[in-house]
Every structure is written in structure tokens, then in C-alpha cells.
Structure 1
């Protein structure tokens, strides 16, 4: 049910509008001042604001500006009996969805409201689609650990099974959660993310479960929680390890019984929500330490997917960097075609403690600074160009993961080949000479490591080296 906030300093108008809109199936909140209406928008979920233009104190134009700072996508329809072209133009320039003259016909008002609510839903769906397209590009991988994570995701996506995603911060857990939602039968419904670490403990309960009007000081209207808003869709609980024991118990009940009560409410609300949880901590260790409920752990651990760090998927660094270059160059309208060999080498050699998020931020910064057609290493952050000492990422990852000598050497060999290709601008013969091996040996190693097709040159003809072949 959509919620409409109606604001007018004339009580009779509020009574008439509330009766009309409730009869059409809307939930209605009425206020007689703009200041009260702004407070409702801060504390409750509103799908549309219908406000009078002329009111004592803050007027409709001022209220429009205030609520769009709170929710930039909120459709606002202004009503007035004192129409002027100048006021109409001012309202539309400041972001109003529509402008209705008093007295109005009910059919005219209802048509404008339905259209505005539909536009809001379409904007949300468009943003979801953009994020899902971006996720597909991020998860195109040559890395065996990442390919395994993708395989598992594709298998579990069509079901309603609860999924637990683990991995370091910045490895793309929310992106994979969005991809799971997009590949599921719930794709037409909402994907709702909730960062349990970012929301203050005192607010997280009402954020997840909602509250009734009057449940506490400041609860000026009923507010649906994220579980309720995600009904029929997917709720992503990021950093689930940060929830208090009290909230862990409430989430466990939803997983077991598919119902809950709003804060201050007594009526059980049933929901059909798929839960995808994520953590960058070891939940088993937290269970053993008594900081995470064992029963909730097993409810979440139905299907586990671990995302490798970017250090563990070194062969994906340059393709990901290329994707981000294209994305940000298009957004900023800059004619940037790629990265210089020096920039590619710097990216390939960096350890990326912040993983994909750090790489994305580094490329965004580089696109901002780039004055030419190719990003150079001087456009990259200083810590990327001058990495700290230590083992090469592939070797370090292999040691930490307890890999055999053969596995560690294979990871390091793959990383050296990828970096040499980057420095050689993709020309295999030059990369082979740098590594001190023949071109045929170089190509054999690329094929064995899955970096090229078993037959053919691989790559575009223009990438081939015009210099004589190696012996």
C-alpha cells in the first residue's frame, strides 16, 4: 500500500482529500503545516507528497526544497488556488512533479497521483537495472576461485534458499547479492540492502522491523521496516555479525516463522523475503566466542559462498580496471581509451588491500585527473604507484591459503605473465623477451594457465608484434 502525505492549512481540504485517497486504496497521513510534513518525511516512508502552495510559515515551494533534500526521488504535487505562470515554472524548476489548480476534479488529481507513483517505481527499477548490469561486468573472471563463486551463485540463484556471503571488505559481496537477486524469480520485486554496521544500534531495530505511530517519541506516523518493504523480494543484511543478541533473536524468528511485529505493534506481519547475509568476519569464531547465536549461524549458513580477495584473482585486475575506465570515462564525458603500459604494470603489481572498491576508487580518481586519451601512472594514487614491500600478491595469497608449492608457483607465474603483458601493451613477443623465454614458450604457458585459447593467436591482429619472431 502506497503512503501519501497531504499538507494543507485548511482542515476541510484535508478531510476531503483523506477520504478520497483512502477510498482509492492509499494510506494517508495528513498535516496542517509544512514543518510537520518535513518531519514526517524524515521519520517515515512516504511515496508521494501532496501539498498546498500557500501556507503560514514555510510555504509549499520551501517544503518542496526541504523534502527533496531528504528524498531526492520523492514525487511532489503542488496545489494552489492562486495560480501564476511564474509560480508554476518555479515549482517545476525546483523539482515538483506536477502542479494542480484548486478547485480540481477528483479524476484529474487521482490520475496525476497514480502517474507520479508509477514514475517513482520506474526510477527505482532503472537504478536496480544499472547496478545489475555493472555487477555482470565485475564478475566476468579468469580466476578459478572467482569462477567457482560465480558457479555456486548461478546454482543457488533460482531458489529461495538463504545465502551467506563471506570475504574481505570491498570484494563485491553486495554486487554478488544484487546479481543473485537479478537471476532469481524475485527479480521483479525490490532488492533492499541494510548495512548492520552503518546504522546506529538504537535505530537498527526500527529500520529492520518498522514501528507503529506513537511507538516512541518522534514516531509521528507508522513506518514500514526493511523486512516489510522487501516482501516478495530480497533483503541483503550486510555485516550481519554486527547485530546485537536482541536483534539476532528477532531475525532468527523471521527466518524460522516468516513473521514479526513492528516496534510498538502487536499484530504479527507475515512476509515472504529471501535473506542474503554477508560478513567480513569468521562467524564460526564469533559463535565460539559467544558473540553470535549458533542457531542463527546455522540458519544463515545454509548455502555459503566465499569471495576471493583481488590479490587472489590477479588475472582479473586489468580487465576490471578497463571496465571501470570505460564506465567513468562515459559518465564524465572524457575520451579516454585505456591505460598506458606503465599504468597497467602499476595496477598489476599493487596488493589491493581494499580489493575491488579500492581499484574502482583509484580508477575514478585517475579518470578525473587524466588529461589525455590514456591514463598514465602519474594519474594513479601514490600508494598504487609506490606499493609497500613484501611478497608478490600471488605468492602471499598462496602462502596464506596453505597452497602447495606447485599451486603457489602457478599463481606467481600467472601474475608475472599478466604484468609482463601489461608492460608490453599486450604484445606477446615483447612480454616473452622481457621474461627471457621464447614466444612459443610464452604462448604455451598462457594456454596452460588459461590466459588464451588453446589454438590461434588470441587477441586482435593489431596486438601482434611486427618484430621478428624469437628463436
Structure 2
């Protein structure tokens, strides 16, 4: 059996009969990744302390140290380790002693190999589940490191995100523009029990103040001029999932009060409504300002801050975590090259030095933009001169080859929306995320362009 198909367990089998010991070792080796053997309890105990097996299987009657004595010592040093006793003897005294020691199972001799394997698998099930959970978390962590970075500050953010994801706590993510707040919010949602529900993003600062309440909480037909139909708000659209409120510090005072009510009561009143709408929506809020300073200045409600900020994660700017720059640069380069179906160019030493020394005022968003343009226009290698051209183009908004635009801005936007819808099979929320737009802005663009 291939190693990958074997149960990820280390088994210690203690048996004084050499032929039986070897035969069972072979059988167990076909089912479990590691099998250790010993001929008596004393040798078995030495191996146990040295190798820390997951499960111990031992005979009762053995020379030097019998199975009961070994079991007592194993239970004393590692009470959580399952012990299975095997014997042909059925004296009541032995069985009572085994029960007193808290053995996990008893298998009679002559051994039925299938029964032994099934017994080991049964008693080791909690251990296997713990190992699978640990592996899943490690894989999540490795994936998050590629997306966020490996610097100490980001490691702490990753640890917080993994813990928070399994809870229902409200979260505030703080950091400069472009550090990856929305990305971290989507990761938390993806790791949570709500991952099967919607993840809806709204940038509060992008909403006209007169429409913020209607966009968030919806409205009834006739609630105001132009309200020709009853419309659900984003709070209700995100029911069962997560609502990401970006730039939450820009919420007007009246909206802050209504947000507080919705978060605390899990209900709200649509504009023009008298019946409450009940929702089960988790809130992740973000700000590029230090929200507590906004509280101290009186610009943000203190009670709302503490209600939204049951946990606060602060993402440092990219310039303060230099070890992440090359990791993220290579990952962005690989992503865009996969999309372009081309071989990734090599980043030369002088280019790597330039990337590491650049101040990255636009943070991760700027780095991603630079690497996308570099992948598009580079040959087999990306040198410092190539990056200099790309960085200049990013700042000016022009392409490195200064190709004049023949389409109007509105035409470009309409084409981008069409392409995003085509790429996502018409799924509007995914298309909005692809264009890095909040859903409400994307819906307005669909209406404007008749799409």
C-alpha cells in the first residue's frame, strides 16, 4: 500500500514471541505509516519514551516486564495514549487490572489480524482527527503566508485570523490603503463556518451620503422619491454570511447609530418600514485610520467601536515588512503568468534589490500592479531597468510603451464589466470581486451600461 494511503499513525507492538511479533509487524505495516516493535515491556517502555507512538499494542504475559506493568507506566507518563492488550489468558484478575488501568481495548489471542487493525483504528480515531485538523490548519497557514506574507507581524495577523474565523466575533481590520484588508476579510470568511454563505463588500466612503441607509438596510416602495420598488439592503443580502464594511469610519453619525442597532439586535428597519427585518449577518469592518483615535476625536461612536471591534487586527504597511516583498512579488508574478499562459520571467538580483528598497506607498496593491505590468511586458528576465519603466508607468497611469488610448473611459469601464461577467459565468458578486469593486458600485455600473 502506498504511504499516502496508510493511516498516519505510529504503532508500538510489544510481543515476546519472535515469529508472531514479525508477522504482526508486517500486517500492521501494510495499514499504518510507522510500526515499532519490542520483545518485552522494559524495551517497549524505552521505545515509547524515545519515539512517542500514537497507540501501544502489547501482550500481557512477557518476561522482564509484563504488559500490565508497562501499561501502568505508559498511563502515568502519557494518559492520553491508547493501550490495547492482547493475551490468550482470560483470568479475571488480569482483566480487572486492565480495566483499572484504563486500557482502551482488549483483543484475544490467537490474534485475528483484521480485528486487530479495526480495533487500532477505532481507538485511534480521535488522534487521527486531531492530526487531520492540524494538517488542515497548517495547509491554511501555508496558503495564507503565500497570500499575506511570512514576516513576524503578518504571522501574528494570520494566527489571529485563524482563531477568529472559527468564532462569531465581529472584527475590525486596520491598516493603510492597499495593505490587504479586504483580502484578509475574505480569507476569514472563507475559513469560517459561514463560508457557504455570501461574502458582500461595501465601501462606505463610495456611497453618496443620501443613499447609505438605503444601500445598507434597503427600502420599501415609495419610501422616497425614486423608490419605485421594494429593495433589499446589503445587510439582508449577506444574511447567513459576512458583510464587509470597508472605510467604516466614513459612516455618517445617523448610520453609525443604525449600524449599532443592527449589530446588537441582529435586526433593522428598512427605509420607510415599520416591521423589523431579522438577519444573521457577521460584520467585518475595516478602516485605513486608527479607529480608536477617531473615537477619541469624537468622529466615531465609542459604543459602535467596541461592538464592531470584539477583535482588532492591524496590518502593517509593506515597507515595514521587507521580508514579505519578494515572497509576494514572486507569487503575484506566478499568478499573472499562469493567466497569460507564459513562462514566468526570472527576477534578476538588481531587480530584487530595487523591489526591496522601494517605499511601496500603495502597499501590496501597488506591488501587485507592478508585477502584473512586469509580467506583461518583460522578456525572459525582469531587470531593474524594466522595473523602473513599469513603476513610472504605474505612477503615471500609462503603459510602459505609452500606447495612446482610443476608447473613452466609459467604454473601457463597460468592456471591463462585460469581461468580468464573461469570466465568472455571469455571477455578479464574483465579477465585482474580480474588478475589485464593492457590490453596490458594481450594481450601479450594470444599470448604467444596461448589462
Partner residue of 1:303? 311
Tell whether the 8 Å contact from 2:170 to 2:283 is kept in structure 1 after alignment. yes
CA distance in 1, matches of 2:147, 2:342: 25
CA distance in 2, matches of 1:264, 1:161: 30
Partner residue of 1:256? 264
Distance 1:357 1:133, change over 3 A: farther
Tell whether the 8 Å contact from 1:365 to 1:380 is kept in structure 2 after alignment. no
Tell whether the 8 Å contact from 2:218 to 2:233 is kept in structure 1 after alignment. yes
Partner residue of 1:278? 286
- What is the CA deviation profile of residues 137-171 of structure 1, one whole-angstrom value per residue up to 9, with x for unaligned ones? 64453211110111011111111100111111111
Shift of 1:338: 3.1
CA distance in 2, matches of 1:213, 1:137: 47
1:191 paired to 2:199 = yes
Distance 1:385 1:135, change over 3 A: farther
- What is the CA deviation profile of residues 87-125 of structure 1, one whole-angstrom value per residue up to 9, with x for unaligned ones? xxxxxxxxxxxxxxxxxxxxxxxxxxxxxxxxxxxxxxx
Q: Which residue of 312, 322, 333 maps to 1:314?
A: 322
1:153 paired to 2:131 = no
Map 1:78-157 to 2 at 5 A.
136=144, 138-139=146-147, 141-157=149-165
Greater C-alpha Rg: 2
Tell whether the 8 Å contact from 1:326 to 1:337 is kept in structure 2 after alignment. no
Partner residue of 1:105? none
The number of residue pairs the alignment matches comes to 254
Partner residue of 1:225? 233
The structure 1 segments of at least 4 consecutive aligned residues displaced by more than 3 Å after TM superposition are 132-140, 381-386
- What is the CA deviation profile of residues 34-83 of structure 1, one whole-angstrom value per residue up to 9, with x for unaligned ones? xxxxxxxxxxxxxxxxxxxxxxxxxxxxxxxxxxxxxxxxxxxxxxxxxx
Tell whether the 8 Å contact from 1:235 to 1:273 is kept in structure 2 after alignment. yes
CA distance in 2, matches of 1:332, 1:165: 33
- What is the CA deviation profile of residues 168-199 of structure 1, one whole-angstrom value per residue up to 9, with x for unaligned ones? 11110111000100110000000011111112
Task: For residue 380 of structure 1, give the secondary structure of its aligned residue in structure 2.
Answer: helix
Shift of 1:254: 0.6
CA distance in 2, matches of 1:147, 1:139: 12
CA distance in 1, matches of 2:177, 2:310: 22
- What is the CA deviation profile of residues 307-359 of structure 1, one whole-angstrom value per residue up to 9, with x for unaligned ones? 11111210010010001111111222332233122211110111111110010
Shift of 1:363: 0.8
1:244 paired to 2:252 = yes
Task: For residue 327 of structure 1, give the secondary structure of its aligned residue in structure 2.
Answer: helix
Tell whether the 8 Å contact from 1:165 to 1:305 is kept in structure 2 after alignment. yes
Tell whether the 8 Å contact from 1:190 to 1:230 is kept in structure 2 after alignment. yes
Shift of 1:262: 1.1
5+ residue gaps, structure 2, are 1-139, 394-451
CA distance in 1, matches of 2:142, 2:230: 35
CA distance in 1, matches of 2:221, 2:302: 34
Q: Which residue of 377, 380, 397 maps to 1:373?
A: 380
Q: Which residue of 336, 353, 362 maps to 1:345?
A: 353
CA distance in 2, matches of 1:217, 1:257: 29
Shift of 1:381: 4.4
CA distance in 2, matches of 1:170, 1:307: 10
5+ residue gaps, structure 1, are 1-131, 387-471
Tell whether the 8 Å contact from 2:144 to 2:158 is kept in structure 1 after alignment. no
Tell whether the 8 Å contact from 1:255 to 1:299 is kept in structure 2 after alignment. yes
Map 1:180-219 to 2 at 5 A.
180-219=188-227
Tell whether the 8 Å contact from 1:310 to 1:352 is kept in structure 2 after alignment. yes
CA distance in 2, matches of 1:303, 1:328: 34
Partner residue of 2:178? 170
Name the Cα RMSD after superposition.
Answer: 2.2
Select between 237-246 and 324-333 the one with higher mean Cα deviation: 324-333
Q: Which residue of 263, 268, 274 maps to 2:276?
A: 268
Shift of 1:384: 4.9
Distance 1:327 1:339, change over 3 A: same
Shift of 1:250: 0.4
Tell whether the 8 Å contact from 1:325 to 1:338 is kept in structure 2 after alignment. no
Tell whether the 8 Å contact from 1:135 to 1:176 is kept in structure 2 after alignment. no
- What is the CA deviation profile of residues 179-227 of structure 1, one whole-angstrom value per residue up to 9, with x for unaligned ones? 1001100000000111111122122111111111122222222111110
Tell whether the 8 Å contact from 2:157 to 2:315 is kept in structure 1 after alignment. yes
Q: Which residue of 315, 324, 330 maps to 2:332?
A: 324
Tell whether the 8 Å contact from 1:377 to 1:385 is kept in structure 2 after alignment. no
Shift of 1:294: 1.0
Tell whether the 8 Å contact from 2:141 to 2:158 is kept in structure 1 after alignment. no
What's the TM-score, normalizing by structure 1?
0.52
Q: Which residue of 335, 347, 355 maps to 2:343?
A: 335
Distance 1:170 1:374, change over 3 A: same
Shift of 1:376: 2.2
